[in-house]
Amino acid sequence: MKIGALISGRGSNLPTLFEAMESPDYPAEVVVVISNRPDAPGLDVAAKAGIPTATVDHKAYDSREAFEADVQKVLVEHGVELVITPGFMRILTNTFVEQWPQRIVNIHPSLLPSFPGRHVHEQALAAGVKLSGCTVHFAVPEVDAGPIIGQAVVPVHDDDTPEVLAARVMQAEHKLLPHCLALVAEGRVHIEGNRTIVEAAPGVFEEINPAL
């Protein structure tokens, strides 16, 4: 399955995804990385891995629709079948999401539906939760919503700062995203309403979630 990645910054999930792609039996391939910021470090990460890159600077457009039209052109030019948005800091319009029904996958640094939006780790610490984590889900027009493909859990310690917790969650993201994309690419994820039925071998998610 050909994947297009939309990023805005470091693209911290890209290296482990590229590493997974090196396996001959991995069922997905990132064919283009698109950034809405010309200075995004993730573009260099992709280029060093030999992945084609493109910049569609949102500041050069008068509307989100015009910006997304050019993003769409790049995706189509590269034959993209599935879009992922790891660290993409632009809210996609309903029109764009509806062009890719059940074909946009997002990763969010909380256990959705808890703590959507921004300042996620500050929200988690303020709420006093003992567990946090990350969620991979299909994107829908509503922000940080949509059928959940998989989640990874991490502990929250009493002395955590938002930065420390973010680093722990990011480590979980690096394991979860490649795994979930493989399940989607292999046709093992079936959507029923606002939930998914995932065909996976017993113990797979336990490997990602040592706390379970």
Pairwise CA distance, residues 106 & 104, whole Å: 7
SS3 of 75, please?
helix
SS3 of 33, please?
strand
**Cβ neighbours of residue 6 closer than 8 Å, sequence gap 6 or more:** 34, 35, 36, 71, 83, 84, 85, 88, 90
Q: From the candidates 108, 121, 137, 174, give the one annotated as an active-site residue.
A: 108
CB atoms within 10 A of CB 166: 16
Active site residue 108: yes
**Cβ neighbours of residue 167 closer than 8 Å, sequence gap 6 or more:** none
Contact predicate 182/27, CB 8 Å? yes
**Cβ neighbours of residue 133 closer than 8 Å, sequence gap 6 or more:** 110, 111, 151, 152, 153, 154, 169, 172
Catalytic residue ranges? 108
